Every structure is written in C-alpha cells, then in structure tokens.
Amino acid sequence: MEIVDAQVHLWGAETSERPWNIATGHAPHGPAEYTAEALLTQMDAAGISAAFVVPPSFEGDRIDLVVDAAERHPHRFMAHGRWPLTGPDIAPTIEQDLLSPYLRGIRMTFNGEAARWVEDGVVDWVWAFAEERGIPVSLFPVVGDLAEFGPILRKHPNLKLSFDHLGTSVPATGFDTLDRINQLESLAGLPNIAVKASALPVSFPTTYSAEVVRQVVDRLMKWFGPERIFWGSDYTRYPSENYGETVQRFLDGIAHLAPGDQELIMGKAIRAWFDWESA
C-alpha cells in the first residue's frame, strides 16, 4: 500500500535575510532547520512514499523551500502554498505562482492577529477566488464552532476545502477528547469538505493509540467516507515520537477497514482531491 503523508513541514534557518515570524505564537519545531533531504531520510525509514510539504507558520508567508523540494523530488513531494492574504494585490501573485506544477492549493492558518479573519470576513475574497479558479484550500481553523464554516461551504458549493488536523486547533475544547472532532458531523453532508486525520499524536498527547485512531476514524468514515479522509503526520510537531511507530499505530487503528478503504485514507484519496497523480 502506498502511503502519502498529508502534511509535513520544511524550514530554513533563521537569518537576518530570512527572519521567522514567531509573532504568530507558534514556536519553531525542533532543529534550526529541517531540509528536504532530512525529511526524505525519515520518510524512507517510516515507509512513506510521498508527502505534501507545507511552509510552517513560524517561517511566515513564503513558498520557496517547499517548491524547491518538490521541484528536486517531484515524485516524493507536492507543495501547499502560503501567501500574505491581506497583502495588496496578492491575488495575481497567487494565481501566477499556482501555475507551477509543484504547487497544489492555498494553505491558510489563523494564528495571532489572524484568529478572527473567518468571523470578521477578512478572507471572504479567498473563498470566491479559489472556487472560481478550482483551487483547493487547506486550512487550520480557529473558530469556536466548526459549524461556522457551513454557510461558507454552502455559499461556495464548488470550493474544495479541507481541514487540517480535524479542526482540533483549540486545546481547551479539542485535545484528548472527541468533543472538537464531533463538531465535524454538522459539515459532513456537504460534499465540498474533506478532513486531514493529521497530527493525532498532538491532538491526543496522553491517549494516542490504535484504539483512539479507531474511534476517530469510525466516526469520520460514517460522516465523510474514505474518499474525504486523508492521513497525515505533522511529524515535526512531536519530534520525540518515532515517525514509523506513529504511522504503524494509525495503521493498526484502521486494520478493521476494507483494504480499499485503507488505501484511500493512506494516500489515494488525497492524491485524487489535489489532483496529484502517482509516479
């Protein structure tokens, strides 16, 4: 079975020419830099065929490293892009950048001052822009209730929206419980939303196990089906964990599913959603 990781990060060392944006409140993940070659070594050891590389929020809005990684290793990496979405005349830049065959979609985070961008309508233009151009959007939501995305998805029925980490971005309501994940049920009937079953060791820091995976995935299967569930690691957020063991726990948790459903969740579904053909 091919395994495609829905979310991994790469970053460069902080320099005066390349400062990090730690004002977002997210601390850097581990080492001073994390290269494509270092990641490939870990992927090979864990049995990961390919991965979507995402610029981490602490690096700010840039795409150079992830695009470079995908250009040099096109069968192993595809990139999600980050841009300053409130910047002047940014739409033409995004449109031009996404002509690259190594970029798939817009990745959005809502850290720091961006926390209320959804509620306040600051990024409303992105939904229409992406829908009109067929650009998938992957986001890390920060809202009180994930149902707040319902009106957006209904207003833009051709917008392809995927939630990173099952929307569990609010520790007080989501971590080590299923409360936050259960909010996804209200959105599951909308065909234009998918979910990344990613960063589960972070969302369940004291209880992550094959049994927890089974509880989570059984809910998601009932709501979304295997075509809209994407496994992902977000590995660098828990560097003390062994990448391969984390993957195996997830595989153990979905072992009861039909082989075809496992294949979709572990790679085929995300390739189809983001139109990234296998080598």
pLDDT tens digits along 84-122: 998 888 999 999 999 999 999 999 988 777 878 888 889
Q: How many domains does the chain have?
A: 1
The strand order across the sheet containing 161-163 reads 4-9, 50-54, 77-81, 103-109, 137-140, 161-163, 193-198, 229-232
User: Is the residue at 115 inside a domain?
Assistant: yes
Has residue 111 been placed in a domain?
yes
Closest CA to 8 of 235, 166, 202: 235
**Is position 169 within any domain?**
yes
Neighbouring residues of 242: CB distance < 8 A, sequence distance ≥ 6: none
Provide the whole-model pTM.
0.94
Residue 231 lies in a domain: yes
Residues 130, 267, 118: CA angle, nearest 5 degrees? 30
- Contact between 137 and 105 (Cβ < 8 Å): yes
User: How far apart, in whole angstroms, are the C-alpha atoms of residue 15 and residue 38?
Assistant: 20
- For residue 259, the domain's CATH number is 3.20.20.140
Q: Does residue 73 sit within a domain?
A: yes
pLDDT band at 172 (very low <50, low <70, confident <90, very high): low
pLDDT of residue 69: 97
Name the more confident of 210 and 168: 210
Domain presence at residue 279: no
d(CA 133, CA 129): 6
Stretch (H or E) spanning 162: strand 161-163
Is residue 278 domain-resident?
no
Reported as a single tens digit per residue, the pLDDT across 215-273 is 999 999 999 999 999 999 998 887 666 889 889 999 999 999 999 999 999 999 999 99
CA-CA-CA-CA torsion sign (260, 262, 268, 269): positive
Q: Express each pLDDT in 41-78 by its tens digit.
A: 999 999 999 999 998 888 888 899 999 999 999 999 99
For the chain, how many residues are written? 279
The range of the structural domain enclosing residue 20 comes to 4-273
